[in-house]
């Protein structure tokens, strides 16, 4: 049985998590108690977080997961998105398909609540890809000298912000989210981090309104002296070019105190704002390409309800086809089997429509797995590239047209951890 955890279940949940994730450092009874109270508090708050547990016939807790209910910008409009995290299986119940059942429950909960897209950060990309999750946006970690940033902004307008500015920072952050596909609105947990001063914020205002904010911390360089430190940029949002340029000039001015600026972003175009982008690896990629960033694959997306996602995606905001094309798509989904099958995409009256159809429909134009469909329709990869690498089959239509009609113009950006 899988159900929402009650207050009496959290002690066992904390114990299970301590064995599943030893790196969290919650092995002592004191730490486990602190973690137990944290889990209880997270579920009590009105923050969209619920913890689920899998119980065996003896009423023993054998697995857990955390479900987060987010508002995500999907191609210009905020839609609900479920995130799953803290998936953990009891150390005595491995290889009993507990994780499989937890994921299946999570997907069915999403479908019951009409949530068409789910996401996660994987402990193993291959494990979740088999469950239908497609690769999300790549993340680029830059390690640049402060002087690599431009100084043509007004750094004297930058001021320190405090935890009391949490609402103003949240308004700016949500404005940034509204302007970027894939962004999730500010969460309860993130607001708590600001209130607790987990990192320092600087910002810039125009006419009394916050137009740029940057969260950072200073960290000592390992195996060096106490004056040698790097600046970690945890968050950088702005509502206008001025908001970015003034903060950029402030970061540039840190050269006397900071060795390297460490900044992770989903947007590779950040490199074009730099006058000297190489990182500190001194690594040359043949023939002469200076390493500027390390790249990671993390966030993964999965469509949990194909027709609903198609209707919520608002593909009509992309290029509209000439005429009234019909496209037959064969989708393979071995985990949510009711999604497998054939779909007819029709363009009528200026809008796309979708209908699940039987096998005897005529020529199939696209054969695709749910993991690649999710990545394509979220704008992480083009179907032209998937076709080039042999990951999909496209017949009787142009991959270029398909991308113009169904791929968001920009890849998603996400700053939310869960």
In 3-state terms, what secondary structure has residue 388?
Answer: helix
> What is the C-alpha separation between 126 and 129, in angstroms, rounded?
5
**Contact (CB, 8 A) for 134 and 412:** no
Q: For position 181, what pLDDT does the model report?
A: 97
Helix (H) or strand (E) holding 238: strand 229-238
Q: For position 316, what pLDDT does the model report?
A: 80
Cα distances from 223 to residues 146, 220, 226, 320, in angstroms, run 21, 9, 10, 58
Cα distances from 91 to residues 53, 65, 101, in angstroms, run 15, 15, 16
Q: For position 152, what pLDDT does the model report?
A: 93
Residues 6+ apart with CB under 8 A from 187: 47, 48, 68, 70, 416, 418
> What is the C-alpha separation between 48 and 42, in angstroms, rounded?
9
Query: CA angle 290-296-297, nearest 5°?
Result: 140
Collect contacts of 3-12 with beta carbons under 8 A, ≥24 apart: 3/52, 3/53, 3/55, 4/50, 4/51, 4/52, 4/53, 5/39, 5/43, 5/51, 5/52, 5/53, 5/64, 7/40, 9/53, 9/61, 10/36, 10/39, 10/40, 10/51, 11/36, 12/53, 12/60, 12/61
> What is the C-alpha separation between 216 and 236, in angstroms, rounded?
9
Q: What single-letter DSSP state applies at residue 269?
A: G
Cis omega (within 30 of 0) on the bond before 151? no
> What is the C-alpha separation between 98 and 244, in angstroms, rounded?
47
Strand order in the sheet with 200-206: 158-161, 200-206, 209-220, 229-238, 261-265, 138-144, 293-297
Q: For position 226, what pLDDT does the model report?
A: 77
Closest CA to 117 of 379, 374, 407, 334: 374
Q: For position 362, what pLDDT does the model report?
A: 84
Q: Tens place of pLDDT for every residue, the chain, 418 residues?
A: 999 999 999 999 999 999 999 988 999 999 999 999 999 999 999 889 999 999 999 999 999 999 999 999 999 999 999 999 999 999 999 999 999 999 999 999 999 999 999 999 999 999 999 999 999 999 999 999 999 999 999 999 999 999 999 999 999 999 999 999 999 999 999 999 999 998 999 999 999 999 999 999 999 988 788 778 999 999 999 999 999 999 999 999 999 989 999 999 999 999 999 999 999 999 999 999 999 999 999 999 999 999 999 999 888 889 999 888 999 999 999 999 999 999 999 999 889 999 999 987 889 999 999 999 999 999 999 999 999 999 999 999 999 999 999 999 999 999 999 9
Q: For position 84, what pLDDT does the model report?
A: 98
**Contact (CB, 8 A) for 53 and 61:** yes
> What is the C-alpha separation between 84 and 80, in angstroms, rounded?
13
**Contact (CB, 8 A) for 370 and 339:** yes
Q: How many CB atoms lie within 10 A of CB 106?
A: 23
Phi/psi at 308 (5° precision): -65, -45
């Amino acid at each position: 049985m899988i159900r929402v955890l009650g207050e009496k279940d959290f002690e066992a949940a904390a114990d299970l998590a301590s064995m599943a994730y030893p790196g969290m450092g919650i092995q002592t009874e004191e730490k486990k108690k602190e973690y137990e109270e944290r889990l209880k508090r997270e579920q009590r708050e009105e923050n969209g977080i619920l913890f689920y547990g899998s119980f065996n016939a003896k009423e023993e807790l054998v697995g857990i997961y955390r479900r987060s209910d987010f508002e995500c910008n999907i191609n210009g409009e905020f839609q609900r998105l479920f995130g799953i995290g803290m998936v953990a299986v009891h150390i005595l119940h491995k290889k009993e398909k507990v994780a499989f059942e937890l994921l299946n429950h999570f997907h069915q909960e999403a479908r019951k609540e009409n949530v068409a897209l789910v996401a996660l950060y994987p402990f193993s990309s291959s494990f979740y890809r088999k469950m239908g999750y497609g690769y999300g946006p790549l993340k680029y970690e830059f390690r640049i000298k402060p002087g690599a940033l431009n100084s043509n902004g007004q750094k004297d307008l930058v001021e320190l912000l405090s935890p009391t500015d949490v609402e103003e920072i949240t308004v700016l952050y949500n404005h940034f989210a509204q302007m970027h596909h894939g962004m999730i609105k500010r969460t309860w947990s993130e607001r708590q981090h600001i209130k607790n001063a987990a990192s320092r914020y600087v910002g810039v205002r125009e006419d009394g309104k916050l137009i740029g904010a940057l969260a950072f911390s200073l960290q000592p360089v390992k195996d060096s002296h106490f004056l040698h430190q790097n600046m970690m940029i945890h968050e950088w949002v702005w509502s206008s070019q001025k908001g970015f340029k003034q903060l950029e000039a402030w970061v540039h001015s840190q050269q006397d105190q900071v060795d390297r600026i460490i900044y992770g972003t989903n947007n590779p175009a950040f490199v074009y704002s730099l006058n000297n982008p190489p990182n500190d690896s001194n690594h040359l990629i043949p023939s002469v390409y200076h390493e500027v960033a390390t790249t990671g694959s993390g966030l993964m997306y999965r469509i949990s309800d194909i027709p609903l996602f198609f209707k919520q995606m608002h593909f009509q905001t992309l290029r509209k086809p000439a005429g009234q094309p019909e496209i037959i798509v064969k989708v393979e989904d071995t985990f949510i089997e009711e999604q497998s099958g054939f779909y007819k995409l029709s363009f009528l009256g200026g809008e796309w429509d979708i209908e699940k159809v039987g096998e005897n429909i005529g020529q199939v134009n696209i054969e695709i797995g749910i993991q690649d469909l999710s990545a394509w329709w979220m704008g992480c990869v083009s179907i032209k590239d998937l076709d080039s690498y042999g990951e999909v089959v496209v017949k009787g239509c142009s991959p270029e047209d398909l991308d113009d009609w169904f791929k968001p113009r920009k890849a998603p950006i996400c700053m939310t951890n869960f």
